[in-house]
């Protein structure tokens, strides 16, 4: 070989050495499992789908279990496990047609028997089961055929589709004969106890550390929507927002369960590895709640004075650095514009009015120490503790702001920072062991939260928490709202509920926390529903989201309909093929040139 040929071969080897790592990286990325890590601030606490105590649990459950319906970007119901349905115009029944190719994670077929079993099993569960009071309206569940179920109701339900379409469907062949609160449900080592029909199946959980799920390759949705792009879904418990941000920046987590708070919003925006998802109000409805059986708080005049003392803009400034939307009604305009009424608006900030109300009610500061005393009892002061949630800095900071505002009207508040393991039982379990609290509740696709929070039917163990509110007028208004089958009737009833809430003041709406989700930049194609991309009613994000570094040539977010175009999964490794072709071409040209020179 002449000197030119030798030099050429040396150049080719140098070129191969330089570009090989690039092609190997791309090849390895495409051959790896796509792992999505969701960082949680604390563990889920329970695995039983009948008794979820937090939205952290529900987000885990929607990956494992299917519901009969899901929701699109406008929060309109779309087919899920039920491929179609019929609803009685008078609200007395709903029929669901179940998909014929659905299977449980153990390969057993899913039929209408499982759906019937689910509703009857759940209805007969203890009263603290999620959605238990709604299920008591069921008259009967009929099996029309192997894939059709009819639910007959005692009283009309204007939200029948949304209500009965929103329960996790359970496998009869596993749970028949077991109690709804059997310890098996929460055993992380009993994999059979966590068999569902959803897009991911359960693999492992180490309490207070992590949960692992994997893509269910035989999920019915592959022929209707698509299989998830993600192969492995991992929930990692990472305590402290700074630690979760660091995990995202280091590539150990993709996103976190809740929105960012404080100055960390700007920190994440400025970081080269991360983005912040914004543009919608989150589902998190921050409120000031009362135990209406506590002396002082059982007086609506005290609660009304507190309502006047609240400065929402100041609370949002302190707790969210402006990333919040004030809520003036129990059905806020920002989330439910269709049902919001100006007539049901809570009062504007007015400290003078608040002090006037308390003065006229006889709550006076007799000893001049800045704290008012009860009428006729100078030894009893208007002092209350207020629980806030320890891992939610928004709750903690909002609580501190409220305490300062109530001090201006002679009410002393002790802010009690508590973990959810203490706070949730105190608020929900009987006997209710709290005075006041400040934290968020999660909104859903329809505004039935007002019924759960304020109807006396829910004043039960682990019911909602306007504890001590027993208003026949409110109950009637809420029943009208829930039973209305026409939009106009429902809007009129919603207005009445909102007006009554301003008169009774069982709790005070404060603000919606604007969605500010941190996410690594390579994770794209999430679906934005009202409330954000990772709510427990957003089933679409975890189908369509993908890591762009592992799937570089993916189409835009498909429409969430059965005709959706799936994002293409990696098949032939065209990166490697292309790279080898380029190298072969260079070598071929060089060899040809060398041979030509020899001739």
Taken in order 316, 319, 320, 322, the sign of the CA dihedral is positive
- The pLDDT score that the predictor gives to residue 291 is 96
Separation between Cα atoms, residue 42 and residue 210, nearest integer Å = 10
pLDDT at 109: 98
Q: Looking at the predicted structure, is the pLDDT value of residue 547 above 60? A: yes
pLDDT of residue 180: 97
pLDDT of 232 above 90? yes
Per domain, the residue ranges of the chain are: 3-32+570-598, 35-50+57-64+198-280+517-549, 66-183, 282-514
The per-residue pLDDT of the chain, averaged, comes to 89
d(CA 51, CA 424): 13
Alpha-carbon distance values, 475 to 130, 157, 331, 479, 482 (Å): 20, 15, 16, 6, 10
pLDDT at 462: 83
What is the pLDDT averaged over residues 264-292?
Answer: 92
| Residue-level pLDDT at 557 | 52
Q: Domain 282-514 falls in which CATH fold?
A: Dipeptide-binding Protein; domain 3 (3.10.105)
Of 3.40.50.980, 3.90.76.10, 2.60.40.10, 3.40.50.300, which CATH number belongs to 66-183? 3.90.76.10
Give yes or no for a contact between 380 and 391, defined as CB atoms under 8 angstroms apart. Answer: no
Q: How far apart are CA 221 and CA 354, in angstroms?
A: 56
Q: Using an 8 Å Cβ cutoff, are 371 and 383 in contact?
A: yes
Residues present in the chain in total: 599
Average pLDDT over residues 25-45: 79
Query: Quick check: 398 and 438 in contact, CB under 8 A?
Result: yes
User: pTM of the full predicted structure?
Assistant: 0.85
Cα–Cα distance between 559 and 159 in angstroms, integer? 25
Q: Any idea which residue has 């055929």 for tokens?
A: 145
Alpha helices in 372-443 (DSSP H): 393-407, 420-428
pLDDT on residue 282: 86
Residue-wise pLDDT for 472-490, tens only, equals 999 999 999 999 999 999 9
- Phi and psi based region of residue 107 (left: phi greater than 0; alpha: psi -120 to 50; beta: remaining): left
Indicate the pLDDT class of residue 261, thresholds 50, 70 and 90. confident
Task: Tell me phi and psi for residue 437, to 5 degrees.
Answer: -150, 155
pLDDT level of residue 2 (50, 70, 90 thresholds) = low
For residues 414 and 436, give the distance between their C-alpha atoms in angstroms, rounded to a whole number.
10
The answer for residues whose C-beta is within 8 angstroms of residue 501's C-beta and 6 or more apart is 329, 330, 344, 450, 454, 474
More confident site: 352 or 421? 352
The superfamily CATH assigns to domain 35-50+57-64+198-280+517-549 is Periplasmic binding protein-like II (3.40.190.10)
Alpha-carbon span 270 to 249, nearest angstrom: 11
Q: State yes or no: pLDDT of 348 exceeds 60.
A: yes
- Provide the Cα torsion 431, 434, 436, 437; round to 10°: -100
| pLDDT for the residue 355 | 98
Orientation angle between helical segments 312-320 and 393-407, nearest 10 degrees: 140
Asked whether the beta carbons of 344 and 498 are under 8 A apart, the reply is yes
Give the pLDDT score at 442: 86
Share of the chain above pLDDT 90, in %: 78
Q: Using one digit for the tens of pLDDT, what is the confidence trace for 297-337?
A: 999 999 999 999 999 999 999 999 999 999 999 999 999 99
Closest CA relative to residue 114, chosen from 70, 79, 68? 68
* pLDDT at 578 exceeding the cut of 90: no
Q: Which among 119, 159, 152, 158 is positioned nearest to 135, based on CA atoms?
A: 119
Rounded distance, CA 563 to CA 241, Å?
39
Q: What average pLDDT does the segment 451-455 reach?
A: 94
Write the DSSP symbol of residue 110.
P
Across the range 273-282, mean pLDDT stands at 90
Which pLDDT tens digit goes with each residue over 91-124?
999 999 999 999 999 999 999 999 999 999 999 9
Q: Does the pLDDT at position 595 exceed 80?
A: no
When mean pLDDT is compared across 62-66, 80-84, 486-490, 547-551, the lowest value belongs to 547-551
Work out the pLDDT band at 552, boundaries 50, 70, 90: low
Measured CA to CA in angstroms, residue 122 lies from 94, 101, 295, 367 at distances of 17, 24, 37, 56
């Amino acid at each position: 070989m002449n000197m030119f040929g030798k030099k050429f071969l040396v150049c080719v080897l140098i070129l191969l050495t330089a570009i090989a790592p690039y092609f190997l990286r791309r090849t390895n990325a495409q051959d790896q499992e796509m792992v999505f890590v969701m960082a949680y601030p604390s563990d889920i606490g329970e695995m039983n789908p009948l008794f979820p105590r937090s939205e952290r649990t529900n987000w885990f459950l929607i990956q494992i279990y299917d519901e009969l319906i899901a929701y699109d970007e406008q929060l309109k119901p779309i087919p899920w496990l039920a491929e179609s349905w019929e609803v009685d115009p008078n609200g007395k029944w709903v029929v669901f047609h179940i998909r014929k190719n659905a299977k449980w994670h153990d390969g057993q077929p899913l039929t209408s028997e499982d759906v019937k079993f689910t509703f009857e099993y759940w209805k007969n569960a203890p009263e603290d089961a999620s959605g238990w009071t709604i299920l008591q309206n069921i008259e009967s569940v009929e099996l029309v055929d192997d894939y059709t179920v009819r639910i007959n109701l005692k009283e009309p339900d204007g939200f029948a589709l949304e209500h009965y379409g929103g329960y996790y469907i359970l496998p009869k062949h596993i749970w028949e004969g077991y109690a709804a609160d059997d310890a098996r449900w929460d055993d992380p080592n009993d994999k059979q106890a966590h068999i569902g029909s959803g897009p991911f199946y359960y693999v492992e959980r180490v309490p207070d550390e992590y949960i692992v799920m994997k893509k269910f390759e035989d999920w019915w949705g592959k022929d209707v929507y698509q299989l998830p792009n993600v192969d492995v879904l991992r929930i990692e418990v990472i305590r402290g927002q700074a630690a979760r941000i660091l995990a995202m920046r280091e590539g150990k987590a993709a996103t976190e369960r809740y929105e960012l708070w404080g100055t960390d919003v700007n920190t994440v925006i400025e970081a080269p590895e991360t983005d912040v998802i914004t543009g919608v109000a989150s589902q998190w409805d921050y409120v000031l709640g009362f135990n209406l059986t506590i002396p002082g708080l059982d007086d609506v005049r005290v609660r009304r004075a507190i309502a006047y003392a609240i400065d929402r803009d100041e609370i949002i400034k302190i707790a969210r650095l402006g990333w919040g939307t004030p809520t003036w009604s129990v059905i806020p305009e920002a989330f439910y514009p269709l049902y919001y009424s100006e007539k049901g608006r809570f009062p504007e900030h007015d400290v003078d009015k608040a002090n006037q109300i308390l003065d006229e009610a006889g709550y006076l500061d007799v000893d001049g120490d800045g704290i008012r005393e009860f009428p006729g009892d100078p030894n009893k002061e208007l002092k209350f503790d207020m629980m806030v949630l320890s891992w939610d800095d928004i709750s903690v900071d909002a609580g501190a702001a409220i305490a300062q505002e109530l001090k201006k009207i002679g009410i002393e508040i002790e802010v009690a920072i508590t973990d959810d393991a203490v706070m949730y039982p105190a608020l929900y379990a009987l006997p209710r062991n709290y005075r006041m609290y400040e934290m968020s509740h999660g909104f859903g696709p329809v505004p039935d939260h007002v019924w759960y929070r304020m109807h006396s039917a829910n004043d039960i163990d682990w019911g909602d928490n306007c504890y001590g509110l027993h208003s026949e007028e409110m109950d009637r208004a809420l029943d009208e709202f829930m039973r209305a089958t026409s939009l106009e009737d429902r809007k009129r009833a919603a207005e009445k509920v909102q007006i009554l809430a301003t008169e009774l003041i069982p709790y005070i709406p404060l603000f919606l926390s604007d969605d500010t989700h941190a996410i690594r930049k390579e994770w794209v194609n999430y679906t934005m529903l009202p409330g954000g991309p990772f709510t427990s009613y957003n089933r679409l994000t975890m189908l369509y989201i993908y890591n762009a570094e592992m799937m570089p040539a993916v189409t835009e977010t498909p429409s969430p309909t059965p005709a959706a175009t799936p994002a293409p999964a990696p098949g032939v490794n065209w990166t490697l093929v292309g790279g080898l072709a380029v190298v072969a071409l260079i070598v071929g040209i060089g060899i040809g040139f060398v041979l030509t020179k020899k001739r």
